[in-house]
Amino acid sequence: MVRGVVVDSLTLNPLSGVTILGEKGYAISDRNGQFNLQIKKTQVFQVSHIGYARFKVRVPHTQSTTLFIKLKPSSTELDEVSVHGKTKERTVRETATVSVSIDEEFLHANRENSLIQTLSKIPGVGSMTIGSGQSKPTIRGLGFNRVSVIQNGIKHEAQQWGSDHGLEIDQYGLEDIRIIKGPASLMYGSDAIAGVVDILPQKVPGKNSFGGDVNLLGETNNDLWAVSAGLQSRKDKWYYRTRLTYRDYADFRVPTDKINYENYIFDLHENHLRNTAGREANFSVSIGRVGENFKFETVVSNVNAKNGFFANAHGLEVRSSNIDYDNSNRDVDLPYHKVNHFKVTHNATMYLGNHKLQLDLGYQNNHREEHSEPVPHGYMPKPPNSRERIFTKNTYTVNAKSLFKKNGGHTISVGLNSEFQNNNIGGWGYLIPAYDRFTIGGYFFDHFELNKNLHLQGGLRYDFGMLKINEHYDWFQTPRDNGDGSTFDIFLQRATNSTLDFGSYSGSLGLSYISGNTTYKFNVGKSFRMLLAHELASDGVNYHMYRYERGSLTLNPESSYQMDVDVSHSGNGYSFGVSPFINFFDNYIYLNPTSDYVETLQVYEYTQAKVFRTGGEVNAGVDVTANLHIYASAEYVFSRQNSGPKEGFTIPFSPPLIGMLSAQYLLGDFGMFKELNLKADLRAAAAQNEIVPPENMTDGYQVVNLALLGTLNLFDEQLPALLKVKLNNIFNTEYYDHTSFYRLIDVPEAGRNLSVSLTINF
């Protein structure tokens, strides 16, 4: 027997999964790069590994010392793998940041109605859903503008602050998503105070390749049908890809025929949540080039969606209407919103010796319209049309980064992020002002490899931001007292012209230590978040929520301190991990319901308070038998306000303790179906009794989902079709999700849903 070890020729790190193939006999290197070959005579072996140049080695059968193979990273593909000379898995272990990588396989096996619902299966990640087709992300209980969603290096910019706004990203065609739990302002800019959902660019297609996929999906609960088709091709250096997605769904069904909201009762027609149908049409095209030491890709994409809102109560406002909603469950009547998000991104990377230069450019146009039946409110007469709120936001982004590998184990990143936003408003309902916002931030970051298994990381960042708010007046007149019993009518001013600027430091320090199969991570950091226009300058009636929202110019930029620990271990057939955190906010900003009234509506004021949070995630997996894998996880966050008007209370939208247990059993092959897997998931949430006005306590629940996954040889044995049959909420359980948009009007989550999806690759 001959023993050997494969390492990267530059970093000398061991390479796992390398194939060593000869005429007789082969081996695959283990995680320490080691392999054994049983040979009786001298022969030549070919050593190959993704991202590395192929290598031939003659192995004499008399070899007694360990065979040492150095693989040279291939320079033409310029993948991240070759640049670091490390596997993605290894890179993640060496990075101190607590992060989770999600691949295409996970996305396929767990795909739900929206991207964020799919991602919410990751412990610590949650979703705020708005009906069946839309959602927005939360990380460890924080959401809205505190989570940055990055796509192709550019921060997605829309009206994230809105409670009925959903993320405008096509969930098909995504290959690689990285989720960072915890403050990540340092590398990602000020909004990433709670974490990041980083959707990485797709992999560059192989040379002389042409391929694509068609995905078909049907669902019973909301009578959804969806199709998404993608194509990609590359000759030598140039490549292109394109994707089209269309989804159309009806009102979703809930396991009740009556909604009891306060003293109101809404009868539901055939369990349909009236007017929650919607549709979505997306396209993207991209063109890219890979050269000897550079690559670039330009992506143009557009997401267009129209979604109805529950007709009986939008927000808290109970509505009667002459619209015949029950006539069709597929049409979208008032109230609804429609959104169009157009995005162009350009990513360029250049390699100069030990330098890697990266430039990301982005332009986004987000146009969102909220429509509702015109109804007089307070002193506002009946508006002329249904255009309640119109937002048009243009965002221009420039990010530049230089990565430099120095001798002595230092990898230094220096970067600059800048962004300009121009937000315009229209419609008869005023909530946030028109504004221009410019931000620029620079950072310095060092990844220091003390030795192979001990890595230190630290960095510092400074951000500067300028916000110019435009004045706004009501379009109708309001009577005001003269003090002598007589009144006069005025157009009330809702926002004044003002310019504000902010600046702040953020920083972080972390280390990772790899000991065999165990990885230890430790991080401390300070993050900050720049104030948003609505936090400063809201001053108007949110009709649907029956409240008067008021901003405050005296708020400070939000700042947060966090300490993280992450320990993960993966052994032979089992794995576990634990990642606790402690987090302090100097001034957490939220919309606080006061005791006061304006025009008989309760005043909600943007308020800041000291907040302490702690919690974390645990997970464990085990291969019970060769065919049965069991995985369990739990997530928990505890929050407490330590100052301000709600001292002693939690913060809004605190998720309950959630546990997930899943079992996957490999059934094997059945006729034309191959690799059939049966998967059962139990999601259990504890009751959430930690609430803050105006929330309601939410009972705990258990919901069970089943899925059958497999492949099917339809046309090509090399590229089998993927089949998925999924039964969600199999017992049609009536349960409430504490962080769902419809929770506040006591609408339960969707009932039983059978979905069938087929992905054909070619």
Partner 1 sequence: MKKIKKFLCFIMLLFINSCSTDDSASKDVEKPTISIAYSGGFPKGCDQLKRGETYVFRAMVTDNEALASYSLNLHHNFDHHTHDDQVGDCDLNESKSAVNPWIFMQNFSIEESSLEHEIEIELAIPDDIDTGDYHCAYSVTDASGWQGRTSIDIKIVQ
Instruction: Please give the residue ranges that form the binding site for partner 1 (CB under 8 A).
Output: 262-264, 317-322, 373, 375-376, 378-379, 381-382, 546, 571, 573-574, 576, 592-602, 618, 620, 622, 624, 630, 632, 634, 636, 638, 645-646, 648-649, 657, 659, 686, 689-691, 693-694, 697
Q: How far is the CB of 702 from partner 1 (least distance, A)?
A: 13
- Under 8 Å between Cβ of 579 and 617: yes
H or E stretch covering 188: helix 185-188
Nearest 5°: the CA angle 5, 19, 62 is 50
Q: How far is the CB of 324 from partner 1 (least distance, A)?
A: 14
Collapse the DSSP code of 516 into the 3-class scheme (helix H, G, I; strand E, B; otherwise coil) and give the result: coil
Q: How far is the CB of 108 from partner 1 (least distance, A)?
A: 26
Q: How far is the CB of 689 from partner 1 (least distance, A)?
A: 6
- Pick the closer one to partner 1 by CB: 225 or 488: 488
Whole-number Å distance between alpha carbons of 523 and 509: 6
- Pick the closer one to partner 1 by CB: 638 or 673: 638
Q: How far is the CB of 328 from partner 1 (least distance, A)?
A: 22
For residue 275, the one-letter residue type is N
Q: How far is the CB of 326 from partner 1 (least distance, A)?
A: 17
Q: How far is the CB of 308 from partner 1 (least distance, A)?
A: 18
Contact residues for 64 (Cβ-Cβ < 8 A; gap 6+): none
- Pick the closer one to partner 1 by CB: 157 or 690: 690
The dihedral sign for the CA sequence 649, 164, 118, 259 = positive
- Pick the closer one to partner 1 by CB: 210 or 488: 488
Whole-number Å distance between alpha carbons of 140 and 138: 6
Contact residues for 162 (Cβ-Cβ < 8 A; gap 6+): none
- Pick the closer one to partner 1 by CB: 60 or 573: 573
- Pick the closer one to partner 1 by CB: 563 or 620: 620
- Pick the closer one to partner 1 by CB: 503 or 571: 571
Collapse the DSSP code of 522 into the 3-class scheme (helix H, G, I; strand E, B; otherwise coil) and give the result: strand
Query: In the structure encoding, which two tokens stand for residue 346, read together?
Result: 């350009």
- Pick the closer one to partner 1 by CB: 176 or 605: 605
- Under 8 Å between Cβ of 497 and 469: yes
- Pick the closer one to partner 1 by CB: 242 or 321: 321
SS (H, E, C) 197-259: EEECCCCCCCCCEEEEEEEEEEECCCCEEEEEEEEEEECCCEEEEEEEEEEEECCCECCCCEE
HSE-CB of 451 using CA atoms within 13 angstroms: 4
Q: How far is the CB of 60 from partner 1 (least distance, A)?
A: 40
- Under 8 Å between Cβ of 61 and 42: yes
Give the count of beta carbons closer than 10 Å to the beta carbon of residue 214: 16
Q: How far is the CB of 505 from partner 1 (least distance, A)?
A: 34
Q: How far is the CB of 661 from partner 1 (least distance, A)?
A: 8
- Pick the closer one to partner 1 by CB: 509 or 598: 598
- Pick the closer one to partner 1 by CB: 329 or 633: 633
CA end-to-end distance (rounded Å), the chain: 42
Q: How far is CA 61 from CA 20, 42, 67, in A?
A: 15, 5, 11
Query: In the structure encoding, which two tokens stand for residue 182, read together?
Result: 């915890």
Q: How far is the CB of 419 from partner 1 (least distance, A)?
A: 35
- Under 8 Å between Cβ of 760 and 724: no
Query: In the structure encoding, which two tokens stand for residue 113, read together?
Result: 């109605």
- Pick the closer one to partner 1 by CB: 227 or 684: 684
- Pick the closer one to partner 1 by CB: 437 or 679: 679
Query: In the structure encoding, which two tokens stand for residue 124, read together?
Result: 């610590």
- Pick the closer one to partner 1 by CB: 305 or 634: 634
Whole-number Å distance between alpha carbons of 615 and 582: 7
Q: What is the DSSP letter of 398?
A: E
Displacement of CA 721 from its chain's centroid (Å): 27
Q: How far is the CB of 320 from partner 1 (least distance, A)?
A: 5
Give the count of beta carbons closer than 10 Å to the beta carbon of residue 211: 15
- Pick the closer one to partner 1 by CB: 192 or 634: 634
Q: How far is the CB of 600 from partner 1 (least distance, A)?
A: 4
- Under 8 Å between Cβ of 466 and 438: yes
H or E stretch covering 281: strand 278-290
Q: How far is the CB of 574 from partner 1 (least distance, A)?
A: 4
- Pick the closer one to partner 1 by CB: 536 or 658: 658
- Pick the closer one to partner 1 by CB: 599 or 734: 599
Q: How far is the CB of 622 from partner 1 (least distance, A)?
A: 4
Q: Measuring CA to CA, which residue among 128, 116, 134 is closest to residue 179? A: 116
- Under 8 Å between Cβ of 541 and 576: no
Whole-number Å distance between alpha carbons of 251 and 361: 39
- Under 8 Å between Cβ of 39 and 22: yes
Whole-number Å distance between alpha carbons of 667 and 676: 5
- Pick the closer one to partner 1 by CB: 78 or 634: 634
Whole-number Å distance between alpha carbons of 399 and 155: 10
Q: How far is the CB of 657 from partner 1 (least distance, A)?
A: 5
Query: In the structure encoding, which two tokens stand for residue 576, read together?
Result: 């576990």
Q: How far is the CB of 384 from partner 1 (least distance, A)?
A: 13
Whole-number Å distance between alpha carbons of 451 and 142: 36
Q: How far is CA 625 from CA 574, 630, 665, in A?
A: 11, 10, 9
- Under 8 Å between Cβ of 155 and 397: yes
Q: How far is the CB of 425 from partner 1 (least distance, A)?
A: 24
Q: What is the DSSP letter of 732?
A: -
